[in-house]
Structure 1
Amino acid sequence: MRTQVAIVGAGPAGMLLSQLLHLQGIDSVVLERRSREYVQQRVRAGVLEQGTVDVLRDADVAERLEKQGHPHHGVNVQFDGERLRIPLSELTGGRTITVYGQQEVVKDLADRRERDGGRVYYEVSDVSVDGIDTEQPVVRFTSDGSTRELRCDYVAGCDGFHGVCRNAVPDSVRTTYERVYPFGWLGILAEVAPSSEELIYSNHPNGFALHSLRSSELSRLYLQCDPRDPIEQWPDERIWEELQTRLGTPDWKLREGPVIDKNITALRSFVTEPMSYGRLFLAGDSAHIVPPTGAKGLNLAVADVDRLARALTDRYHNGSTTGLETYSQECLRRVWRVQHFSWWMTSMTHRFDGPDSAYDRRLQRSQFDYLCSSDAAATTLAENYVGLAAV
């Protein structure tokens, strides 16, 4: 088999890259170890930055997003029942966020690639990447019981944290930065209308909680918990009790409904440098992970592949390799800005146990008070939350 760009991973990063390249007349093949159904049903992030929405529009995959997405002009931060609304659009010149589930983005992309005749191979195994320091890389994989070779000009590693592409970069040139947080998130999807039109981030003595949504009938909610907790320790009754305690205010109560999905996810920060080596380019979770507090994982992945698509277009249309040569450096500028914002949001809103816990909580109170009293502080949060266009 032969293609111009081999893409490993059919999540939002890989499928969006394939679509963006297709619009520029550049051929690609996408390889995915999971089934299409599995990839499209994974409940993941759902907060899209303004820039992410713009890229999806440019990729001509925003028809359902325009109809079903929920634009938000503000976000709420809460401390011990005291709630502050950050007017995002007012503070950022009209920029917004849009709530639209990551799984819906993947469905839109997969449907569009199928209509356009895109080559996407699901349920492949034994993927390996070779020759990335040559002019003809090779991706080997097994599909339908047969071993195949995919020869290409470039490889895009969009295969996530547990994928194979990152490890194809030699240890001698690869540096990893990581922080593992001492808590996780218990996330639920509930069949109940959202209790608030905008997201609520709550810092409570019992721990962090987040109210979000997926549609006018589905609520997405999170609780800080021990990442080692068996999910059986969190029956629905306990979950709703904690959510009511952590999110409630004297004049506001959370709506409850049937829980249709729940899972526990550990929180970590992770960056690998560089994000390119030879003819291999990493994008999305294969190169970096952020705690979900800042809602940046999907948005970072979109920023990566948008930059990579532009660089590959310049290479094939104009013969210029400048964009490919600077890809890692330019992506990492945004990655580290987002790493800092996500760490800051996490440190401000979560309970940290240990000998310094009382001190930490007083610092959090000070941060919240500063947000309440300073337009500059609120603007900093707003600009980072909707996405810094110039990074």
Structure 2
Amino acid sequence: MSSISKNVIRFFKLAGINKRKDVEFFWKNIEKQFGNLGRSFREAIAARSDGQAVNPYEVRDASLELSLAVYSQYEADFASGLMSWIEEVEIEVPKRVLDIGCGNGVIACFMANLWPDTHVTGIDTSLNSIRCAEELARKLKLGNVKFEFGNAKDYFAKYNQSDIDMVLTSKVLQEVFTEEVGGFDLACPEDAFDTYEEIERLPELSANLIEFLNGVKAVLSDNGKYISVDRCGIPAAYVFLCRHFKEAGLGLIPARCEKIVGEDVGGYKESFPLSFLKKTPLAAEPSTEIIISLHKKMLLSEKLECINPVDGFVAEALYLAIGDKRPVHEAELIYRNGSGIMKMHLFHSEILAGVYKTTSRGMRQLEIVPLAEASAVVDAYFNEISKLSEYCDINENVSLDSSLLNQLGLEVVQSKA
């Protein structure tokens, strides 16, 4: 994702969305500026953190000024990423857009401002949010956006046309579940699954979500696009979500997918996969491995750090997700005692270097580092091959891209089997 565009910055200024403040100063100022309403909002946040069924956004959106102040602090980074993607994505300007779960209307108003000839409709189940959205539209003098109170199911039932060119849902699909499906949560922790086999045993699909997606598909025009941005904490969650897309007959286009980073009112930073879908299914649907790689690619692009060796499907998914890999050296190590074969791959891209290992017994392991720190990985790679040569017959491929080794001032000396 590129940096925030000038159009987004300009829109934030017009809407009254400001720079993030120091957290302690922000909360003191909220109570000072908004009095009882500010205190009620903070109490609602605390109650939700304690597990109570409280919706702090209903309190937040009781006032447009409070809503925008909180939005500036905790949602502007997410919104700016999504808005920048909307501006940059190469699609024909839509004639009609539907924003389901529009909240206070910021993103819907941005689209109406960006595309003055487009008719934008936002719907939400919070009356306070709809009132905020309408006030924001008046403030921005937008005549091409409207907001309706109600849920998606009722909207789909009364809207019996198929002429919407773009449907957007942002942090909505998780809420479509009326209860956890088989104990499964789209925002489940990172270590919930560890193998492909466990992913294949995911729970039954959610009837509620399938019904919702069928409604989305029904209102889309023939060339309509559906943009979903939602919580998917682990690859398995994204696979689960994509199975619902497939069941509803929506076609996921991996090349158009992205990752949006946001921080919620509790201060937790999250990565939200952005799924780009067309109304009709693809001739060849993306495989489970591609979907996992797509999820990991989104996470990988967030921040490049040293990744200590990771194993299993996570290692494979990360390795597949790294684009434009250039092999530096490959070695096949055949254990003389007949216990198996290990393959080692030393590679680099424009920004990182790494080693990927696989064995005939199913082991997969990956380690990557920033390119500037490649020398340690390269040294460890060749030292391991040297040690294993005592127990293995080695086949090496040294006729590969040696630019990384040249850059580090190293040479490949073929091991003696």
Which one has a larger percent strand, Structure 1 or Structure 2? 1
TM-score by length of 1: 0.27
Higher relative CO (CA 8 A, sep ≥ 6), structure 1 or 2?
A: 1
Q: Which has the larger radius of gyration?
A: 2
